[in-house]
Amino acid sequence: MSRRGLLVPAVLAALALTLSAAGCGARQAAADTLVFAVDDEPLVLDPHASPQDSAALFTRPVLDSLVSLGPDGRIEPWLATAWSISPDRRTYTFTLREDVKFSDGTRFDAAAVKANLDHIADPKTQSRLAAHYMEPYTGSTVVDARTVKVHFAKPHAPFLAALSEAFFGMQSPASLRRGPDVLARHVVGSGPFVIERYVPHQEIVYRRNPDYRWGPATARHTGPARLARLKFTILTEDSVRLGALTSGQADAIASVPPVTVRRVRANPRLRVETRPAPGGVYMYLPNVTRGVFADRRVREAFRIGIDYPTIVRRLYFGLFDPAFSPLSTSTPSYDPATRERWRLDRAAAGRLLDEAGWTGRDRQGYRTRNGRRLVVRWPFQRSVAREQRAELAELVQAEARRLGIDLRIGNVSQAEYFPRYAAGDYDLVDYVGRRIDGDMLRNLFATSFISTPDRFGQNGARYSDRRVDGWLAAALATDDQAERADLYARVQRRVMDESAAFPVYVPAYVLGVSKTVHGIGWSPLAYPTFYEAWVSDR
Amino acid sequence: MKTLWRHWTSPRFRVPRAVLVRLGTSLLVLWGAVTVAFAALHLTPGSVEQALVGPNTITPQARAELVTEYGLDEPLPVQYGRLVGRMARGDLGESYQLHQPVAEALGSQLGPSLQLAGAAMALAVAASLTLALLTAGRGRLVRGLSSGIELVGVSIPTFWTAIVLLTVLSFQRGWFPAAGADGVTALVLPAVAVAVPLTALLTQLLRDSLELALDEPFVLTARARGLSDLAVRLRHALRHALLPALTLAGWMFGALVGALVVVEEIFARPGLGRLVLTAVEGKDLPVVMGAVLVTAALYVAVNIVLDLLYLVVDPRLRGAR
């Protein structure tokens, strides 16, 4: 198809639209409308394709899931009323609600579930996340309108928890058929809200779905949403978002910068809500395959010789908790015992470095071995560093200096970063990743997740241990939560004993919200949800 | 062929010839801009494929699909040839990141950007004309004060101006909305933020050249004819002073594009700024190329318009050359 000549009419149309819109100052929204200022927007909306947290946030109001996840990590009904797993753990049978309709009028049934899962697995969708969460998926069969069977090539225990995420939200099959170009900017589901309009770089506006009466079992509210309208404004600048909240132009804002949390808390009209994010904590990963950190003693010195908890408490004023495990405290299978396994011991760290042969000192006071300085090269992506991670890095750098380690914090762009990362050309990288299952550990430490130029993997430590690989595989094959927790606990202890990760802090979603807003809920991934929200008189 | 050449070189065809040459060089400029941008994106480290996948785990099948869909496995010269060929036909291609034709992506963002640029430019021209006419050739105090203010105006970063405007006029007074692009009120603060440094620069230049013009003998003649001070300034001196300002205005267009990127980000206005930023970061080649092409075309167009304006302002240029 030729797109010649499309540009001019498009420009004229855009001009006409913006010019014709009437303006009037910074108005207050009506009482049944909630304005939420967010700090990020997705490149494409379709959460089946996009890996971005913002895609999940933007589509959650519109999409329901087959199951929901309770606060205790239990799987609860939503669009599926019941499910069973075959003895070989390779087939899931779901029984579905019968009264559910997508907002375009399409009926939700077994064929719709199949269409959604097939859409995620279809290579043409180019899924950057969801397809990976169900990689052994082989297909679905429609038994009858209410019953669908989902098949896997091998057992895949994280599937049910993943299903509760917006990345697996059920979309109207009619909408899915319209293809990626349409799904990139419009998504149709059965959720409590319907997308009214989406203006990239500006805002997304939802209106209430009046027919909604199939909320998740985890919600206290039933029936249609309380809000008639919901609007997300995209304000990437921290100070602007904060100003919008304090001036009442926004009812809630995402990611209150840690430095300003005190100011928001001091404001009598506002409050701050935080929720620790599940998955991988913000951590530093040493390259265990080459360079100075190939020596376990140097890694251990870097782990026990630096007072991460104190740095974190001072920098974030208690907003974020120090981390002691690569898994966040809110992840099922987090091992609390990891907390007891770390103790600051600078003297021991010094001894370890001596043992490793770094006994010399150069003029600047850094340790040397055979005349070469103990340098840790860290390709840091300063331009995308959030939450004062650059300041954090400098505080760690100062403590490393006390140990005689020259921590060199680079400043690389994303484009420069990936080739270096894929080639393992670094001593240290930082990482954080949201996920609601302990299977996160497989992404972080399984041999198959070491990056190559052809495949990105989150195993930044490039850590490879046959026992750890075995535990991680075993945890996929069982649905016994206690057994999985035990396997993941073993992994956490092992990688910490090996100093294959330096956990720094537990990231949290920091929501700034007006006291007139009530009932904001939290998704399992620690994102705010608005189904039960309402606004009292301003 | 020979007659064609004779026509081409004959004096009668002076104007069409000039236009054709001008168009030819403009095309060269556009081609050059596209080529430099293509080279720049490929010279920075990392493959397009790596940038597209990012820090995500993608199945091998999906990855293969991505590579074939956008022809990323072809040698670079082939990709380049394909790109230039497509652009020559007016087809900007499809964005790698957005699942959208580039023309559509640019088209939806160009309007708001042009609107802001136009408003800022109009504001800057009106303000600087007024200021320059009022302050040129006045007492030392007035001049010193205004050039001091102008110096500040040129020096403060647009980012800072934008935040101050927002804090005072939106967050504290509530006169203007902080964000968005709905209606005229949403346009005021961003336009002012962009216009401040432009106004400062233009005023300085206009005043200096106005003062030069006011010293010319023809001004004395005009005054001798009994014209009022304002009439002298408006009708005679200003015309002379406008020429260097026009030259500067052409250059300012470039500076404007940079300021737009910053201001659009702060005020959450749709526009080319964020579109291009994310495209460069993600090596979204078609979008970057399209944006480069559109910006370069606008730049060429602005300069052609300015050339025409010279003719309007300066009658000497209208005679035989």
B50: tokens are 């790596």
What lies within 8 Å, CB to CB, of A169 at 6+ separation is A47, A59, A60, A62, A63, A64, A65, A189, A191
Asked whether residue A11 carries a pLDDT value surpassing 70, the answer given is no
A53-74 average pLDDT score: 92
Q: How far apart are CA A273 and CA A279, in angstroms?
A: 19
Per residue in B123-143, pLDDT (tens digit) is 998 898 888 888 877 778 888
User: Which residue, among B44, B48, B52, B56, would best test binding to A if mutated, counting the most A CBs under 10 Å from its CB?
Assistant: B56
Asked whether residue B168 carries a pLDDT value surpassing 90, the answer given is no
Asked whether residue A153 carries a pLDDT value surpassing 90, the answer given is yes
| Residue A415 forms contact with B (CB below 8 Å) | yes
Asked whether residue B94 carries a pLDDT value surpassing 80, the answer given is yes
What lies within 8 Å, CB to CB, of A225 at 6+ separation is A192, A193, A208, A209, A212, A530, A531, A532, A533
A203-227 average pLDDT score: 93
Q: How many helices (H) and strands (E) does chain A have?
A: 17, 26
Q: How far apart are CA B62 and CA A416, in angstroms?
A: 24
Q: Are the Cβ atoms of B180 and A237 closer than 8 angstroms?
A: no
Residue with tokens 């920075």: B44
B77-105 average pLDDT score: 88
Give backbone dihedrals phi and psi of B169, rounded to 5 degrees, phi first: -85, -20
How sure is the predictor about B53, in pLDDT bands with cuts at 50, 70 and 90? confident
Per residue in A271-312, pLDDT (tens digit) is 999 999 999 999 999 999 999 999 999 999 999 999 999 999
Give the pLDDT of residue A61: 97
Contacts of A456 in chain B (CB under 8 A): 50, 53-58
Per residue in A92-137, pLDDT (tens digit) is 999 999 999 999 999 999 999 999 999 999 999 989 899 989 989 9
Give the pLDDT of residue A78: 96
A235-252 average pLDDT score: 91
Q: Are the Cβ atoms of B45 and A419 closer than 8 angstroms?
A: yes
Question: A403 to chain B nearest CA, in Å?
Answer: 32
Asked whether residue B171 carries a pLDDT value surpassing 90, the answer given is no
How sure is the predictor about A19, in pLDDT bands with cuts at 50, 70 and 90? very low
Global pTM?
0.86
Give the pLDDT of residue A22: 33
Per residue in B225-275, pLDDT (tens digit) is 877 877 777 777 887 778 888 878 777 877 787 788 888 888 888 888 888
Give the pLDDT of residue A68: 94
Asked whether residue A1 carries a pLDDT value surpassing 50, the answer given is no
| Residue A3 forms contact with B (CB below 8 Å) | yes
How sure is the predictor about A29, in pLDDT bands with cuts at 50, 70 and 90? low
User: Which residue, among B50, B63, B102, B277, would best test binding to A if mutated, counting the most A CBs under 10 Å from its CB?
Assistant: B50
- Of the two residues A26 and A196, the one the predictor is more confident about is A196
Give the pLDDT of residue B243: 80
Q: Are the Cβ atoms of B103 and A181 closer than 8 angstroms?
A: no
Question: A426 to chain B nearest CA, in Å?
Answer: 15
Contacts of A453 in chain B (CB under 8 A): 50
Closest CB from B66, B90, B171 relative to A126: B66
Q: How far apart are CA A108 and CA A146, in angstroms?
A: 9
B 248-307: CB under 8 A from A: 264-271, 274-275, 278, 281-283, 294
Residue A66's nearest CA partner among A196, A214, A182, A203 is: A214
How sure is the predictor about A21, in pLDDT bands with cuts at 50, 70 and 90? very low
Give the pLDDT of residue A237: 86
User: Which residue, among B99, B116, B262, would best test binding to A if mutated, counting the most A CBs under 10 Å from its CB?
Assistant: B99
Give the pLDDT of residue A483: 94
Asked whether residue A330 carries a pLDDT value surpassing 80, the answer given is yes
Q: DSSP assignment, residue B12?
A: G
Give the pLDDT of residue A538: 59
B299-314 average pLDDT score: 80
Contacts of A236 in chain B (CB under 8 A): 265, 268, 274
- Of the two residues A319 and A1, the one the predictor is more confident about is A319
Residue with tokens 């230039």: B84
Q: CA end-to-end span of chain B, whole Å?
A: 27
